[in-house]
Amino acid sequence: MRGCYRARMPPVNLYDATLPELEDLLGRLGQPSFRAKQVQRWLYEKGAVDVDAMTDLPKALRTALHQEATVGNLVLRTEQVSRDGTQKRLYALPSGHLVESVLMRYRDGRRTACISSQAGCAMGCVFCATGQMGFGRNLSQGEIFEQAARYAAELRQEGERLSNVVLMGMGEPFHNYDAVLVAIRRLMSDLGIGARKITVSTVGLVPAIRRFAAEGLQVGLAISLHAADDDERSRLMPVNRRWPIEELLSACRAYVDATGRRVTFEWALIAGENDDEATARRLGHLLRGLSCHVNLIPLNPTRGYEGEATAVDRAQSFVDALERMGVPATLRVRRGIDIDAGCGQLTSKVQEAS
């Protein structure tokens, strides 16, 4: 009788493993459960990128982990630092796809990680570099979480802390809903980031917004809007053909009712297209009575779109028109533009040059 063949299990990505899963792995290796928290401290507080760096683990355990586990899926390919201090990283995935993440440092002490949920994006927004590159694949919850965890560990070593996380990097978070939700819960439980310090940005996948409203979280919701009528928004953002503005705003009202939190609307100001006072008044009429805030930012340049950024004085006039309508708005400072780290600029074009 032939012996049974037992297939070897693939290595466990330690960033994929929740605490109970890590305890289970170590239990199978004959280790007590407290070792799991030791491993997590090395990952999330000390930023270990290799099992051998975890020097308070027994040597036999480190040897076993070399066989049974990997330390993350992200391989750093390049890092750039903007004149304003913004950091952008390009990571390679085991599949060969590339993703980017950004760390923004603010004068008030905030340290905000902008992380990706997909390699590329299927939404096709015409002014967005990620949308222009198309869709590669979804990230696992561990790959999403790892981007923030790495920044958090490095900031700890500098005596600082990661204070905020925004899922505004590459990809549409609600197109990868289940993985994003697990990653969000781990940002809260494993990194100690409060729900109100986490924001998810979506182009407007209405069923997912309604589902997210029912999750019982206090996570912020940001909507990429960019136009005040359906014809214009459908031209800029194909998703609007499936879920037009009125359906989108109805879902936003449901989110506000369920969470008590206001919605943020993101608006890229494009010179001569969506930056005049008449458009601001139309937007004001749409949003009046909804608990919300409008974040406006002059369009960040991308190679695949010819539109130009609105001048600052015209942008301020747009803000003033909205506020006269009773809709609070803020004109944001563009960050990381010199290294293509601004909103809508993230892309894997580094791969093209390599």
Residue 343 known to be catalytic: yes
Taking the CA atoms of residue 29, residue 35, residue 36 and residue 38 in that order, the dihedral angle to the nearest 10 degrees is -140
Q: Kindly state the tokens that stand for 308.
A: 């130009």
CA distances from 325 to 2, 144, 274, 286 (A): 80, 39, 17, 10
If you write DSSP's letter for every residue of 119-145 in order, what string do you get?
EE-SS--TT-HHHHH-EEEEPPHHHHH
- CA pair distance 18, 40, nearest whole angstrom: 9
Helix (H) or strand (E) holding 41: helix 34-44
Q: What sign results for the dihedral spanned by CA atoms 277, 279, 280, 282?
A: positive
Q: Which residue in 125, 128, 252, 343 is the catalytic one?
A: 343
Q: For 113-132, b where at least 16 C-beta lie within 10 A, e where not — what string?
A: bbbbbbbbbebebebbbbbb
Q: Which amino acid is it at 87?
A: Q
Contact criterion met (CB below 8 Å) for 93 and 342: no
Q: Kindly state the tokens that stand for 14.
A: 């330690």
Q: Which of 124, 282, 261 is nearest to 198 (CA)?
A: 261
Q: Which of 251, 258, 324, 334 is nearest to 295 (CA)?
A: 334
Q: Which residue in 100, 146, 172, 266 is the catalytic one?
A: 100
Q: What sign results for the dihedral spanned by CA atoms 22, 24, 25, 26?
A: positive
As annotated, the active-site residues are 100, 343
